[in-house]
Every structure is written in structure tokens, then in C-alpha cells.
Amino acid sequence: MKRDSDGRERRSELAPTISQVAKVCGVSRATVSRAFTRPEMLSEGTVRRVKAVADKLGYVPNQVARALSTGRHGNVGLIVSDVANPFFPPLIRAAQLHADRAGLCVFLGNSDEDPVREELLLGRFIGQVEGLVLASSRLDEAQIRIYAARRPLVLINRDIEGITRVLIDTAPGVAAAIAHLAELGHRHIAYVSGPTTSWSNQQRRNAVRKEAAKRGLKVIAIPARPPSYDTGRLAAAPIVASGVTAAIAFDDLVAQGLLAGLAALDVDVPKSFSVVGCDDVLGETTYPQLTTVSARCADAGDVAVGLLLSQMHGGASSEIRHKLNSHLVVRASTGPAPAKRKSR
Amino acid sequence: MKRDSDGRERRSELAPTISQVAKVCGVSRATVSRAFTRPEMLSEGTVRRVKAVADKLGYVPNQVARALSTGRHGNVGLIVSDVANPFFPPLIRAAQLHADRAGLCVFLGNSDEDPVREELLLGRFIGQVEGLVLASSRLDEAQIRIYAARRPLVLINRDIEGITRVLIDTAPGVAAAIAHLAELGHRHIAYVSGPTTSWSNQQRRNAVRKEAAKRGLKVIAIPARPPSYDTGRLAAAPIVASGVTAAIAFDDLVAQGLLAGLAALDVDVPKSFSVVGCDDVLGETTYPQLTTVSARCADAGDVAVGLLLSQMHGGASSEIRHKLNSHLVVRASTGPAPAKRKSR
DNA sequence: GCTTGACATGCAACCGATTGCATTACATCC
DNA sequence: GGATGTAATGCAATCGGTTGCATGTCAAGC
């Protein structure tokens, strides 16, 4: 094995190994190893001496070798369905931060909404991670179970019995949004729906229906698929044509598109039409600023990694179904129902 | 070593190893290994037999063990300064995609603009990656050189001699933007500047100055630091007060904030004020839609990984300084200079 | 003074692969 | 028929750590 030419340590010196440190110190390799992993087994003096030498030599334990013998590599995998969707970056950031604090490195995978790609990534990760977080997985349940049997695994926004999962429960926020619209006098509203197979979409749709029924509002559903700025924009026309006075969208991106579509149709928001988003990932950056359901996506990432850690360490993998609640954030895209808009 | 309780294969069966396959096949471990890594060394029949058995047993080569003996683990590290900044997700996505196609896994690190965190991440990654991409690194040059000496390393938007780097050259696009504004009759404009230490900011500022001088425009600089939606919004007041009729912002986020700030001051864009962004990461989602300099950030991620790969394989690490060009995208936030706006 | 035990350290096997070198079996050539 | 070459495979060392068990040392206890 000619280490110098195979890409490992391309230039200059090889990284020092435990053997070199041992030789310089005049102790065995085992002692050096223990100085790092179980210093309480060694005399204080020895630990100090070893660490001093290690420092001077620039020795750092080789993670790969360590992983081979312990089966613990300190890596976790995070797979999301679309890095570019503004919902994910905060989630990724939070997950990352939590993992960092635990001394873990994170592999990031981007499935691009494609189950085949997702499985490919999973296959590559599984061998070198101690745990996995799947956010908005597109895999079918059977697949997920297979991987969950091999490694601690936490799902985000996917509700599979027996597997630890964190669910962003937007129902309360959505209900509050409907209440808000009802109080503003809207009687007839639209739900701009997302992917039919999405857990979040089902949940939101149901919440809208239920609360609207309770308050005697009429709801129609207009699809925006796949959910994006563009499909949101295109939904503006049918929505206006339907005669509703307000709309609540599957997510902020769709809501933002809808705002653009409405502006293009010269519909004034919020004076003659109200729009509510979901997720609160665009902050105050839309115009007008979006009233939306805050979904705490960052927390989801944080909590998921937390659960993963306890599953990895405690091992007590009692099933956990963690719900994150939500609330309505009122900004400038909602207002009183227009006085004389006729219902078609 | 009690493998069953240490988190490696927590439930059910251990993953089969090369030895088991060898035994079942009645061949040596070396042969099994070669069936996967160098099938041309073996007779066709043997390869087939081994693979069949491996399949049946569900054997998958252990990446970690392989990495230990070859020094090749098939991982690369990508560190960005802020996952949540819309500039990065497309870059990450593209980098990811390219790495994927090459069969590599990517570690993602988020430095949160903090050099200390960045170095910590680097320290954790270095032992288990074959190459690194640093996007908008905040590390000082000496540090970067140290890591670059240990592993193939590619920088994005950081210009250090001797280290392969990809630079998004926004100068042409910025120049085009200035030309565009000049043609629209603007004579007095503002540059809303970003971090002084940022390579991108220096480059953009210089491009603005140079082109403006050429066309006889007057430029003032107004800071927005750190660059964000909020600082952009706050910059609106001093900008309006200064009497300029157009502004070009360090990035899209600042521009978007500026739009909001102008709206709040009842300044109509583009009728009485023109705004140009930079990066083109918000697409058409601002209101009004933003005229901006397209920075091809996705390409940067793609190219960086490409260069990294060739550095990893070819080994011929002749220094490369790859420039990505840019162009102006005219949308709705720029218009003719207002007729009678007085210069203070 | 001898046993006992706690503590510090070393020995050597092991994790699961890869790979240089040796070995074996044949076919080819003279 | 013996020398030679080649293709297929095995042996065993190695990568850089970790860890069960053995060993050695020294002080306390009887």
C-alpha cells in the first residue's frame, strides 16, 4: 500500500499514528489509546505525558480506524426532500447545530423528491452513520421500516407507527387562521392544497375543513401541485373566479405565488382579498407581509436530532411521537372581508 | 467487543462480512474482495458465484473497513457560512448532485459565519473526507493553507493564490446593471454595500465604481451590515435622503429589504426609484420583481465539486482559478429616472 | 512476612476490508 | 518432455485504533 500516492495524505507528512506517539512516550499503544478514551484508567501523570507528546506531534485519533473497531463513527445522516425549499434550510441548520454540540458530523442528502434517489443515498449512508433523520421522506413505509431496523431512525413529518417521529402539528395554527378570517367577516374561503400524499397537506386540509365547518364558513379546494411559487401564482385566477374573499395556502411559497398572481390581476391584498400562508419561512419578506401559520421548522430539526441521540445512546427505543405545535402570526396580508364582493 | 449492544447493529442480525461470504462460497476472503473491486482479475465464473452468494446473504462491503485499508472513503466535506442564506441552498444542491453522480457522500458543515466553528468542523471532517469545498470561508489564509496541504481543497468566492478556487465574477453583470441604469437616465446612484472583508463585496463595489466613473454617474456608498433583509430595509431612509434615484445592492436579500423599506416610505418602485439586486436567488418572488445580477451560484457548487474531483483523482493539482461570469436580468424593479427629483 | 487486592500498564486478538507476493494449474513452445 | 509463461487464487501482513485478559507493583491487612 503506497500511502503517499493514493490520495490519503497527498502532500507532505502522513498524519501521526498512535504507534508513533507510543514510541516517543515509551508506552504501549494501548496506553495511548486509553489516554484519550478512558483517562480514568491511567495514572494522572501518564495521561499528561501522553497528551503532551500527542500535542507536539499533532496526533489526532483516526476516526475511521476507531469506527472500525468500535462500530461508532460519530456520524449521522440527514436526508431532506429539497434543500432549496425554504422550509428546509432552518431545519438543517438547527439539526446541524444540535449534532455539532454532540460532537457528531452530519451527512446531508437531498432526495429531490425522488424516492429512488432517496434510497440510493440511504444505501450509501447506512454503512457510515450511527443514526438517520428523514425529513419529509418520500419512501414507502416498508422501505423505511427496513432501514429503521438497522439503525436508529427519526422521521420528520411522516407518521409511521412504531418509528420515532416528530410531527409539526399545524392544525391549531390553521384553526386559528380560520378563526381569524371568520372574525374579519370572511364567509367563503379557498384552501390552496399541496401534494395529496403529504402528511402535512392532509393535516392542514382537515384542519381547515373542520374549523370552517364549526364556524359555518364555506371552503373550496384549489390545487397547487407541486407546491411552488409558480403553481401558487397560477392558482390566483381560479380562486378569484370562484368568488371567495380569502385563501389559505398549503405553504408560504404557494402563498407568495398567490400574492404575485393576485397583484397581476389587480386584486388588492389585503383590501379586497386576504391570504394566509403556512410554515412562516419567508418571515416578513413578502409584500405585503404575509399572515401565516408559524410551523417551527427549526425546532423540528433540533428535536429530531435530540430524539435520535437518545435513541442512539439510551437504546431505549420506546416509540415516541413528538408533536410540535403552531400558532398564527398575523401580518399584513389579511384584512376585513370586502363589503360588496358578490359570491359569484 | 460486544457488538450487539454498542449501537452498531442494534436490532436483529449483524451485517454479513466478507468472511462469511468466503466461507459459504468456499473461496478465500481475498477472492471475495476482488470479486467486488477487481473482477477482471478473477475468472468469470468465480465472480458470478461470489456475487450470487453475496446477494443472497445481503452482503455489502463495509465502507469503514475499506476506508481504513485504502485511505479512500468516498466522502467529501462542504462547509458554508450560512445554510439559511438563500444564496447557499442552490449551491449545496448542485454540489450534492455532482458528488452523488461520482458516488460520493457529502458532509455538510455550517459555520454560521464563525471562524472558530468553521475550524472545529474542519477538524472533524478532515479525518474522514477525501476532499473539501469551502464556500465563503471566514478562516484566515494561513489556516486554509494548512488544510489545503492535507487534502485536496477548493474554495468558492475566496481568492487565495495557489489554492484552487471558483470565483463568481459579478463584475460584468454589475457593469451591465450600471449601464442599464445610465440608459434609463439615472445620474446619481447608491451602492448598498456588504461585509468589508468579503471578496464578493470588494469586487462588486469596484465594478460599480469603475463603470459609474466611465459613464459619468455619481455613486455614494451606504452600508448594510451584516447583509440581510433588515439592514437592507433600514438603508432605505438614508438612501432616499441622499437624493439618489437608484440603488444597487450587495445581494438580493438586501435589495429585498430595501424594497420593503422604500414601500414603507411610500416611494414607488420603479416609478420614482430603481433597485437592482445581486445573486438572482430570489427569482421572481419579490414585489416588484427584482432586476438583478445573475450569479449562477448553483454552477459554483457544481464546478467546485468537479474541480475537487479532478484534484482528487488526477492529483495534478496545478492551481486553477475558475471564473464564473454573470449577466443582468432585467425585471420590474428598474425604470426610467424620475423627471423632477432634485439632487438633495 | 506473606497474602490479598487495587491500580497501572502491556500483550495480543480483533474490527472488516485490501493487496503484494507466492503458489498452483494449465497450456504453449521448442 | 521439460522449460516457460500466464491466469486464477490463496496467504498473510497491514490499515489505526480498541479492549479482554494477564502481568507486575506496591501498600494494607492479618
Q: Residues B225-256: pLDDT tens digits?
A: 888 899 999 999 999 999 999 999 999 999 99
Residues A138 and A33 in one domain: no
The 10s digit of each residue's pLDDT in A24-64 is 999 999 999 999 999 999 999 999 999 999 999 989 999 99
Nucleotides of C under 7 A from a protein CB: 7-12, 14-20
- pLDDT tens digits, residue range B260-295? 999 999 999 999 999 999 999 987 788 888 999 998
Does residue A204 share a domain with residue A162? no
Beta bridge partners of B190: B220, B247
| Inter-axis angle of helices B141-150 and B115-126, nearest 10 | 10
Phi, then psi, of A80 in degrees rounded to 5: -120, 160
Q: Is residue B127 part of a domain?
A: yes
What residues in A contact B263, CB-CB < 8 Å?
287
Q: A150–B11: do the CB atoms touch at under 8 Å? A: yes
* CA gap B114, B118 in Å, rounded: 6
- Interchain proximity B86–A90, CB inside 8 Å: no
Domain range for B115 is 75-168+297-325
DSSP symbol at B272 = T
CB contact under 8 A, A71 and B6: yes
- What is the per-residue pLDDT for A319? 80
A268 and A199 within one domain: yes
CA distance B195 to A206: 46
Q: How far apart are CA B227 and CA B125, in angstroms?
A: 29
Contact A84/B at CB under 8 A: yes
Residue bearing cell 428535536: A303
Q: What is the mean pLDDT of residues B61-69?
A: 93
Our measurement of the distance from residue A4's CA atom to the centroid of its chain's CA atoms, rounded to an integer in Å, reads 40
- Least CB–CB distance from A7: residue in B5, B6, B130: B130
Look up residue A308 and give its three cell numbers: 435520535
Residue A3: which pLDDT band, with cuts at 50, 70 and 90?
Answer: very low
| Residues B157 and B178 both lie in one domain | no
In this predicted structure, what is the pLDDT of residue A284? 80
Provide the shortest C-alpha distance from residue A142 to chain B (in Å): 16
Q: Which of B70, B107, B108, B254 to mutate to test the interface with A (most CBs of A within 10 A)?
A: B108
d(CA A15, CA A57): 9
pLDDT at res. B13 = 53
- The CA-based angle A16-A20-A24, given to 5 degrees, is 130
**CA separation for the pair B48, A110 (Å, rounded):** 34
Tell me the mean pLDDT in the region B17-42.
Answer: 94
How many CA atoms does the CB half-sphere of B17 hold within 13 Å? 10
Look at B128 and A285 and tell me if their CB atoms are within 8 Å.
no
Strand partners, B275: B247
C-alpha cell at B29: 476472503
Instruction: Work out the minimum CA distance from B169 to partner chain A, whole angstroms.
Output: 23
Enumerate residues 144 to 163 of chain B having a beta carbon within 8 A of any beta carbon in chain A.
Answer: 149-152
Interface test with B, best of A1, A6, A10, A251 (most B CBs within 10 A): A10
**pLDDT at A230 exceeding the cut of 70:** yes
Report pLDDT for A340: 60
B60 touches chain A (CB under 8 A): yes
Q: What is the CATH number of the domain that holds A277?
A: 3.40.50.2300
What's the pLDDT tens digit per position in B160-207?
A: 999 999 999 999 999 999 999 999 999 999 999 998 878 899 999 999
pLDDT digits (tens, 9 = 90+) for A132-168: 999 999 899 999 999 998 899 999 999 999 999 999 9
Report the pLDDT averaged over residues A190-201.
90
Torsion angle of the four alpha carbons B265, B270, B274, B276, in this order, in degrees rounded to the nearest 10 = 110
User: Residue B343 — pLDDT band, cuts 50, 70, 90?
Assistant: very low
| pLDDT at residue A316 in the model | 60
A121 chain-B contacts, CB cut-off 8 A: 100, 105
Does any domain span residue B334?
no
**Is residue A333 domain-resident?**
no
Cis peptide before A223 (omega within 30 of 0): no
Overall average pLDDT of the A100-118 stretch: 92
Q: Are residues B152 and B179 in the same domain?
A: no
Q: How confident is the model at residue A104 (pLDDT cuts 50, 70, 90)?
A: very high
Q: Is residue B67, in this structure, part of any structural domain at all?
A: no
Q: Which nucleotides of D are covered by protein (CB under 7 A)?
A: 7-12, 14-20
Q: Which nucleotide is nearest to B68 (CA to C1')?
A: D15
Residue B337 lies in a domain: no
CB A229 within 8 A of CB A257: yes
CA distance B312 to chain A (A): 6
Q: Which of residues 38-67 of A touch strand D (CB under 7 A)?
A: 38, 59-62, 65-66
Question: Does residue A228 form part of some domain?
Answer: yes
Min CA distance, A79 vs chain B (Å)? 11
Q: A275 in a domain, yes or no?
A: yes
Element (H, E) at A37: helix A29-37
The C1' atom of D25 and the CA atom of A97 lie apart, in whole Å, by 48
Looking at the fold, whether A212 and A102 belong to one and the same domain comes out as no
Nearest CA in chain A to B81: A93
Q: What is the DSSP letter of A281?
A: -
Shared domain for A302 and A163, answered yes or no, is: yes
Q: Is the predicted pLDDT of residue B3 greater than 70, yes or no? A: no
Asked if strand D contacts A146 at the CB level, meaning under 7 A, the answer is no
Percent of chain A residues topping a pLDDT of 90: 78
**Which nucleotide comes closest to B127 if you measure CA to C1'?**
D16
Return d(Cα B168, Cα B94) in angstroms, integer.
15
- Do A291 and A178 belong to one domain? yes
Q: What is the pLDDT of residue A197?
A: 77
Flag whether pLDDT at B342 surpasses 50. no
Cell numbers given for A322: 413528538
- Rounded to the nearest integer, the mean pLDDT of chain A is 90
Domain assignment of residue A335, yes or no: no
Domain total in chain A: 3
Neighbours of A52 (CB within 10 A): 11
In this structure, is the CB of residue A29 within 7 Å of any atom belonging to strand C? yes
Q: Which residue of A has its CA nearest to B88?
A: A84
C-alpha cell at position B81? 457560512
What does R_g of chain A's alpha carbons equal in angstroms? 26
Residues A130 and A113 in one domain: yes
Q: Are residues A10 and A87 in the same domain?
A: no
User: Residues A81, A21: one domain?
Assistant: no
Size of interface A-B (CB pairs under 8 A): 179
Given a cut of 90, whether residue B9 has pLDDT beyond it is: no
The answer to whether B10 contacts A151, with C-beta atoms less than 8 Å apart, is yes
**If you measure CA to CA, which chain B residue comes closest to A124?**
B105
Same domain, A39 and A152: no
Q: How far apart are CA A254 and CA A325, in angstroms?
A: 21
Rounded, the Å distance between the CA of A35 and C1' of C6 is 20
The answer to whether the Cβ–Cβ distance between A121 and B108 falls below 8 Å is no
Q: How far is the CA of A29 from the C1' of C11 (A)?
A: 10
